[in-house]
Structure 1
Amino acid sequence: MSAEREQRGDGAVVSTLNPAQPEEAAGTTIPELVIISGMSGAGRSTAAKCLEDLGWFVVDNLPPELIPTMVELGARSQGNVARIAVVVDVRGRNFFDNLKGSLADLAAFNVARRIVFLEASDEALVRRFESVRRPHPLQGDGRIVDGIAAERDLLRELRGDADLVIDTSSLNVHELRAKLDAQFAGDEEPELRATVMSFGYKYGLPVDADLVVDCRFLPNPHWVPELRPYTGTSEEVSNYVFNQPGAKEFLDRYTELLQLIAAGYRREGKRYVTVAVGCTGGKHRSVAMSEKLARRLSDGGVETVVVHRDMGRE
């Protein structure tokens, strides 16, 4: 594999991958590629450092049209650079128009690539920028919120194409590293990884959810005095929830639906999915359902992590 570079009429340099010649192909191994992007202040630097600690070759703020060249150089390293992580952000905003073309070139030559998108709520981002007393890179003469809005608009399409979206609004550095370790530390990548997340509707929908399901059709154990102090992880609450009409049937049907969706995700090359299961407060029904659902997915061959976002809230 080699890259030809040509200059467009607007002066931009575009790299195009070419098939490797037979004598080159025998001595090259195309590296795995992860593209780290997302909102400024959402934790891109932490993500980059985490992957670097895991043995990835990390390049920060690389213009997107140079990504094929970087992959080519990794392929020529005789296996010394097997995994490359590239941080792409608004500092290179003049190059975002070329990102789609670069990704198309990589796909044409079977480069295994994933996009990790980090985001956070406006409130969390404003708080982080104010704490370090730095302006947002896109705010210009406006306010921080103006820069955040402009960046969200700029990255909207990239977020939609991401393989993994992580909302860092309520995560500290260690929790973010733990999430990335869970995704990238293993020697072998599973076909599909799922996060089943319970949540409370009164605290808002998880912004990184791919699928959302509502358990509020079941009676609420909160109104049973002897069950109120417990959570959905307890046997007492779980038995109460699944003894209600429709609970077991719902679990069976939704598991079947997720198995169908998982098969489609595998065919489309999507490796990560977050299933959000909600009830009013995120303490009883959604927790019990998430535990059972995660067990069903795991038994079906999907590596699954369970997260109870709001279980500890009052």
Structure 2
Amino acid sequence: MNTDRTKANPHQIVIVTGPSGAGRSTAINALEDLGFEAIDNLPLSLIPRLLDGPPLTRSVALGVDVRNRDFTTKALMQLVDALPAQTDAEVSLLYLNAREDVLIRRYSETRRPHPMAPNESLQEGIRRERELLGAIQSRSDVVIETSDLSPHELRDELTTLFAAPDGTRMSVLLNSFSYKRGVPHGVDMVYDCRFLRNPHWEPDLRSLTGKDQRVANYVTDDERFDAFFEKINDLTDLLLPAFHDEGKSYLTIGLGCTGGKHRSVAVAEMMGKTLANKGWQVSIRHRELERQAKPGSGDT
């Protein structure tokens, strides 16, 4: 990989895809507002021709989905693999996802037929599309779960990921999560917080979250915490500049525990403050808190 890529060409090519109703149009518009040249539903075969000629003068956001006339999973994957050899710009595949019940609700509100099942049920179209896109999701550089995000919140997240203030500084997203629900897609690094003592078993702390100072104090009082926090920060200090030099414009760090409510949230909040104090552009997401998990479902 060209380690001088960011200096030679600071622009990005973001290919935006995902199931119908997951927020692709909102994402395309948000990226356009950030200064990207936005092109939606361009046939895959024409995208390489778009990049012929002089280097890009602006970043480009390309909307791609099953409605593209030559869309296939294989064709999109081949395109994503081939583009880095054609351009010095950073190429990213952004996948927007949402739960089936959310897609049904959003699509029902539009009263439009689903492109994968124009004469059949909406549920059938959604399931066909998700099956078709499954391999693409696992290959994506960034996956955003939009089920519990408002359009404004999605715009904020895209701004954090793709609009570094000086065009060269890498953005860092910290994402706390529950191992019960699996590691989030698109995470670059994961730190496991399950060995720390668990506030879930303290009646006075169970209903609180890792954002509460009492929970944070309980977590940091674990005799193993100081060494753990020092080591993950040392590792992060080593790796973030290296990823930045490789041309990455964003990096996602996952922090997991059993329930995604206490320990991982507390550590993510503390880590976010530490990184921000060192000058990194940081945003924090707490996946399980956003889903408004019921009290008693586990710890963090």
* Partner of residue 88, structure 1: 64
TM-superposed CA distance for 1:303, in Å, is 2.8
In structure 2, C-alpha distance between the alignment counterparts of 1:206 and 1:143, rounded to whole Å? 32
Q: Which amino acid aligns with 1:91?
A: R
* Residues 1:144 and 1:265: Cα distance change in structure 2 (over 3 Å): farther
Specify every segment of 5 or more residues in structure 1 that has no aligned partner in the other structure, as ranges. 1-28
* Partner of residue 132, structure 2: 154
In structure 2, C-alpha distance between the alignment counterparts of 1:101 and 1:282, rounded to whole Å? 36
In structure 2, C-alpha distance between the alignment counterparts of 1:52 and 1:287, rounded to whole Å? 32
TM-superposed CA distance for 1:170, in Å, is 0.9
Specify every segment of 5 or more residues in structure 2 that has no aligned partner in the other structure, as ranges. 1-8, 296-300
State which of 15, 25, 32 in structure 2 corresponds to 1:52: 32
Structure whose CA Rg is larger: 1
In structure 2, C-alpha distance between the alignment counterparts of 1:31 and 1:250, rounded to whole Å? 37
TM-score by length of structure 2 reads 0.77
TM-superposed CA distance for 1:63, in Å, is 0.7
* Partner of residue 202, structure 2: 224
- After superposition, the C-alpha distances for 1:79-98 in whole angstroms (9 at most, x for unaligned) are 8x623221111111524454
In structure 1, C-alpha distance between the alignment counterparts of 2:173 and 2:66, rounded to whole Å? 29
State which of 220, 233, 256 in structure 1 corresponds to 2:211: 233
In structure 1, C-alpha distance between the alignment counterparts of 2:283 and 2:192, rounded to whole Å? 19
* Partner of residue 159, structure 2: 181
8 Å contact from structure 1 (residues 65, 95) kept in 2 = no
8 Å contact from structure 1 (residues 221, 237) kept in 2 = yes
Aligned-CA RMSD value: 3.3
8 Å contact from structure 2 (residues 161, 249) kept in 1 = no
- After superposition, the C-alpha distances for 1:205-257 in whole angstroms (9 at most, x for unaligned) are 46435144443333322443444464323333222211113222222333344
* Partner of residue 43, structure 2: 63
In structure 1, C-alpha distance between the alignment counterparts of 2:260 and 2:174, rounded to whole Å? 13
In structure 2, C-alpha distance between the alignment counterparts of 1:93 and 1:169, rounded to whole Å? 27
In structure 2, C-alpha distance between the alignment counterparts of 1:284 and 1:105, rounded to whole Å? 42
* Residues 1:48 and 1:292: Cα distance change in structure 2 (over 3 Å): same
* Residues 1:188 and 1:116: Cα distance change in structure 2 (over 3 Å): farther
State which of 93, 105, 115 in structure 2 corresponds to 1:115: 93
In structure 1, C-alpha distance between the alignment counterparts of 2:45 and 2:89, rounded to whole Å? 15
Q: Secondary structure at the match of 1:218?
A: coil
8 Å contact from structure 2 (residues 65, 71) kept in 1 = no
* Partner of residue 6, structure 2: none
Matched residue count: 281
Q: Which amino acid aligns with 1:139?
A: A
* Partner of residue 250, structure 2: 272
* Partner of residue 42, structure 1: 22
* Partner of residue 284, structure 1: 262
In structure 2, C-alpha distance between the alignment counterparts of 1:273 and 1:298, rounded to whole Å? 14
In structure 2, C-alpha distance between the alignment counterparts of 1:307 and 1:264, rounded to whole Å? 23
Which of 91-100 and 39-48 deviates more?
Answer: 91-100
